[in-house]
Amino acid sequence: MSRLVPERTFLAGKIFFNFGQSSIDCIVRRLSEEAATLEMESGIGVPERFQLRLAGRESLTCRVIWRSDRQVGVAFEQPGGGERPAGEDRERSSDALMRSQMLALRAALDHVPTGIVLLDSSLRARLINRSFRRMWRLPDEVADSNPSILTLLHHGRDTGAYEVPDPDLDALITERVRVIEAGDPTPIDLRRTNGDVVRVQVTPLPDGGRMLTYTPVTDIVRYSDELRLLRDALENVQDGVLLLDPDLRATFMNRRMRRFWEVSEDEAANRPAYSSLVRRLHRASAPHLPTSELAKFPARRVEEVKAGDHVRDLQTPDGRRIRAHCTTMSNGGRMLTYVDITDLTQKAAMLETLATTDPLTGLYNRRHFLESLDAEWSRFQRYYRSVSVLMLDIDHFKSVNDRYGHAVGDAAIKAVAAACLDGKRRSDIVGRLGGEEFAVLLPETSLSRARTVAERIRKRVMSAQVFADKVQFGLTVSIGIAEATISMSGIDALMGAADHALYQAKAEGRNRCIAWAPPPPASKAAE
């Protein structure tokens, strides 16, 4: 049996063909008595048969049995072949072909980026490709010596290739040998000390051997790790997150979103359609809609999401307010984020209440009342619709404070506020201007109708009772009434007219309603 020259063979040669008229320089990489691997700048132009000359040797007749871009595998044709028995000739030819095929396989495997080790039934290496040698810094003299799998694993241990603590290395090697012996094809990711990740897989071979593949998967694992971190982060954020594919099926739903839709982890893993989610909870999502419109809500909501970016306010079954943001993603899908704005809404309402409401009575404060009056004044100027104002003042309020104290005085103010709310119409606005002074805005109301409301409020106050230290007493109010006229310059003039009427009511004996009347023209006054 011929012996292959070691892989480090490096001989200069020259290819002759075309009756010796043409030649190509080459390097002999592998050489045996029957075959060789030749390397040149390009395999183009190399004929099927040619003469190979090596320094210090006779010319060899060669037949090409395989090709690559820069290499050819050849078998040597022996001169005087007719003198050998036919059986021997066929045996040598078959042996040469097998060796040449092995060389072709080796050359092909050397060009793949995946590390490959072919083991025989005793788990010794029959072939180790170039990628594996580079990956694990394995010297050629070791690779070419048919090392055992244990030798290869120990080499990795000794060179510090594994990202494994020293006490665990032997256990790792033992486990790897067990997996290889068992032929377990389950991929295993090995982390190397340089940060790279290699995916190792075992494939059993028909002859009892094993093929080991070592595939670099650093980028894949890194992206996978980053994706896992991202999913973990999204899973634990306080806002609900829902990712939809272009068909609007849920590809990811975090814990907060599952709670909102009342969906289990198993249901979420089945990629439910967004339309099915909306139909499940449409009553909770749009409680403000009438029954006739509620049935149409799921389809409308799906169309909104299909349309792309938007913001919509929803409501959970437990009454919490949710602001849904829909964003179009680069893959054509949608990302929905649900932000709980219940506390913000409540705080905003609280701030609005504090900014517009009198803390003692719950009525509108002076600022908000005047803002409302200003809006009605604008409508009066534009459409000439009537608007009237009442000014109220508690009669002899100072004596109440002096006699019973400020706490009882506050109770009296609350009693008057309640009477004003009870006596006003639904469209009227009541405000506390300060101290014991109140005002009522009556939109689209003439002076005569305003007088009716004023009298009703006055009577409500008279029927109210205030209790203080087992003492019960009543109250009265004086009310001034004024209707806006085109001659007035603004709301200050209107309020001034009502205030003038209020003081007239006090001057005439209190507990009465007086309407403001504009002064007569100058000519009439002279008469």
Confidence tier at 88 by pLDDT (50, 70, 90): low
* Helix, strand, coil percentages in the chain from 3-state DSSP, rounded to 5: 40, 30, 30
pLDDT at 82: 44
Q: What is the mean pLDDT of residues 515-521?
A: 80
Q: What is the mean pLDDT of the chain?
A: 83
The answer to whether 43 touches 67, Cβ cutoff 8 Å, is: yes
Percent of the chain with pLDDT over 70: 83
Per residue in 490-505, pLDDT (tens digit) is 999 999 999 999 999 9
Active-site residue 527, yes or no?
no
**Strand-pair category, 210-216 with 115-119:** antiparallel
pLDDT of residue 94 exceeding 70 = no
Confidence tier at 90 by pLDDT (50, 70, 90): low
Per residue in 276-308, pLDDT (tens digit) is 888 776 555 555 666 666 667 778 888 989 998
Q: How far is CA 264 from CA 53, 269, 419, in A?
A: 77, 9, 54
Cα 31 from Cα 10, distance rounded (Å): 9
The answer to whether 428 touches 442, Cβ cutoff 8 Å, is: yes
Cα 144 from Cα 245, distance rounded (Å): 52
Beta carbons within 8 Å of 410's beta carbon, 6+ residues apart: 360
pLDDT of residue 269 exceeding 80 = yes
Q: What is the DSSP string of 238-285?
A: SSEEEEE-TT-BEEEE-HHHHHHHT--HHHHHT--BHHHHHHHHHHHH
pLDDT at 316: 67
Q: What is the mean pLDDT of residues 334-346?
A: 79
More confident residue, 463 or 78: 463
Q: Which among 205, 9, 32 has a CA at the least distance from the CA of 125?
A: 205
Judged by average pLDDT, the poorest of 44-53, 317-326, 419-428 is 317-326
The answer to whether 85 touches 72, Cβ cutoff 8 Å, is: no
pLDDT at 171: 84
Among 41-45, 83-87, 323-327, 409-413, which range has the highest average pLDDT? Answer: 409-413
Active-site annotation holder among 83, 436, 437, 455: 436
pLDDT at 343: 73
pLDDT at 6: 46
pLDDT at 318: 67
User: What type of residue is 331?
Assistant: N
The answer to whether 212 touches 201, Cβ cutoff 8 Å, is: yes
Q: What domains, with CATH codes, occur in the chain?
A: 11-109 (2.40.10), 115-221 (3.30.450.20), 237-344 (3.30.450.20), 357-523 (3.30.70.270)
pLDDT at 255: 85
Enumerate the β-bridge partners of residue 271. none
Nearest-10 Cα torsion for 141, 147, 151, 156: 50
pLDDT at 320: 75
More confident residue, 428 or 240: 428
Cα 222 from Cα 476, distance rounded (Å): 81
| DSSP structure class, residue 519 | P
More confident residue, 518 or 225: 518
Report the alpha-carbon angle 41-43-46, nearest 5.
120
pLDDT at 130: 87
Judged by average pLDDT, the poorest of 166-175, 369-378, 436-445 is 166-175
Per residue in 14-26, pLDDT (tens digit) is 999 887 788 899 9
Q: Which among 164, 140, 169 has a CA at the least distance from the CA of 153?
A: 169
Does the model's pTM come out above 0.75?
no
Q: Whose structure tokens read 């999401």?
A: 305
Confidence tier at 5 by pLDDT (50, 70, 90): very low
pLDDT at 18: 81
Cα 425 from Cα 140, distance rounded (Å): 101
**Strand-pair category, 513-515 with 477-483:** parallel
Element (H, E) at 527: none
Per residue in 177-235, pLDDT (tens digit) is 898 889 888 888 888 777 788 888 999 988 888 888 888 887 766 666 666 666 666 77
Q: What is the DSSP string of 72-107?
A: EEEEEEPTTGGGS-HHHHHHHHHHHHHHHHHHHHHH
Judged by average pLDDT, the poorest of 59-73, 338-352, 434-448 is 338-352
pLDDT of residue 98 exceeding 60 = no
Per residue in 379-401, pLDDT (tens digit) is 999 888 899 999 999 999 999 98
Q: What is the DSSP string of 163-192?
A: -S-HHHHHHHHHHHHHHHHHT----EEEEB
